[in-house]
Amino acid sequence: MNAREDILLSVEDLRVSFRSEEGKTEVLHGLSYRLPKGKVLAVVGESGCGKTVHALSLLNLLPSGGEIAAGHVYYQGKDVLSLPPQELRRLRGAEIAMIFQDPMTSLNPIRTVGSQITETILAHTDCTKLQARARAMRLLKQVGIENPRKRMDEYPFQFSGGQRQRIMIAMALCLTPGLLIADEPTTALDVTIQAQILKLIKNLQQKNHMSAVFITHNLAIVADIADEVLVLYGGYCVEEARADELFAKPLHPYTQGLLHSLVSLKRKEEHLPAIEGYPPAPGTPKEGCPFAPRCPRAWDKCHDRLPPLFEKNGRRVRCWLQEKDDNSGRN
């Protein structure tokens, strides 16, 4: 990433652990990245790799049992995680907004859609109820809900999944935040709706010059929307690069595997290629590279020692293969 660019969000050595009866389990092992203004960062990985946990920690929204063990999240220079509750609240929704994975459960089932949007506006601004309502109506129209005047007073169950996600988007963008965190916003929707929602987010992001952290396991989405890509595996960042570079030349064997398993119309194969094995369960004691057990190119060293993040040409890769060319890696 270019250091001269205006950095909006900077995450430093973020570690998250969960308490359970067996003790603490660290699920995110020191994640660091920087996001310039107006850019979109995609965080990619399989289920359980720490994507969502990372997204929730950005706003200190971890569920009970989860805690941020170490690290900092700076938004416009402010240390988000050490803000007093009052100020953190002012940031949430107004400066940093979030869209969640499941639009079916993310809206309060027994309150009207309109009231759920207007309450965000009312919580952060001095406008009157009527003004907030007018604004909410405009937003609904903007995200493609027809007849917003009538639909404002309807309940979430009267909307389809795609429409609910549109409402979530309207709610997230009602105060034109500087940063949007989208946690798999299209995963729960069917494919045609996915494309529409994605397009909507992309349009609004560009129109409002918003930065976004886009969490997904879908590489097709990444290619469509992201400027930067960060690949997570087992709670570690294994690769970070500009999207075009990553797709052109993935460096980490895991990323290579992911790209290889994409459905392609050019290839004619009986079976889709897949990465053998399963990702490590959180809390599995490990020395060495988390991907080593599944890596086709692993050797002894990979099983014994965790590779540092090697930095090369503005790209970062956590793989011993890089050591051969470059020894200036940093952890």
Q: Which of 26, 46, 48, 61 binds other proteins (CB under 8 A)?
A: 61
**Nearest to other proteins of 68, 319 (CB atom):** 68
For 81, counting Cβ atoms within 10 Å of its Cβ (0-12 exposed, 13-18 middle, 19+ buried), the class is middle
The residue within the footprint of other proteins, chosen from 4, 77, 110, 192 (CB under 8 A), is: 110
Q: Which is nearer to other proteins, 83 or 193 (CB)?
A: 83
CB of 116 to other proteins, least distance (A): 8
Helix/strand/coil (H/E/C) assignment for every residue in 96-121: EEEECCCCCCCCCCCCCHHHHHHHHH
Whether the CA torsion 224, 229, 234, 238 is positive or negative: it is positive
| CB 330 within 8 Å of CB 309 | yes
**Of positions 2, 22, 63, 313, contacts other proteins by CB under 8 A:** 63
Q: Does 307 bind other proteins (CB under 8 A)?
A: no
Q: CB-wise, 74 or 155, nearer to other proteins? A: 155
Contacts of 76 (CB under 8 A, 6+ apart): 8, 95, 178
Q: N- to C-terminal Cα distance for the chain?
A: 17
292: number of Cβ within 10 Å:
24
- Does 248 contact other proteins by CB under 8 A? no
Pattern 10-39, other proteins, x by CB under 8 A: ------------------------------
Is 108 among the residues that bind other proteins (CB under 8 A)? yes
Given 12, 26, 102, 224, the residue binding other proteins (CB under 8 A) = 102
Nearest to 54 by CA among 88, 29, 90, 86: 29
> 77, 74, 9: which is closest to 37 by C-alpha?
9
Please select the residue that binds other proteins; options are 39, 42, 49, 106, rule is CB under 8 A: 106
Please report whether residue 105 would count as binding other proteins according to CB under 8 A: yes
CB of 263 to other proteins, least distance (A): 30
- Judged by CB, which is closer to other proteins: 136, or 246? 136
The single residue among 77, 84, 109, 285 that binds other proteins, judged by CB under 8 A, is 109
Which two three-digit tokens encode residue 52?
A: 């969502």
Residue 143 interacts with other proteins (CB under 8 A): yes or no: no
Exposed e or buried b per residue across 188-197, where buried means at least 16 C-beta atoms within 10 angstroms of its C-beta: bbeeebbeeb
The CB-side HSE value for 235 (13 A sphere, CA atoms) comes to 22
Cα 29–chain centre separation? 16
Stretch that binds other proteins, among 116-124, 142-150, 259-267, 272-280 (CB under 8 A): 116-124
Residue 140 as a binder of other proteins (CB under 8 A): the answer is no
Query: Taking contact as CB under 8 A, which single stretch among the options 7-15, 88-96, 127-135, 295-303 is the one that binds other proteins?
Result: 88-96
Q: What's CA 28's distance to the chain center, in Å?
A: 14
Give the footprint of other proteins on this chain (CB under 8 A): 56, 59, 61, 63-64, 85, 89-94, 97-98, 100, 102, 105-111, 119-120, 123-124, 155, 157, 168, 171
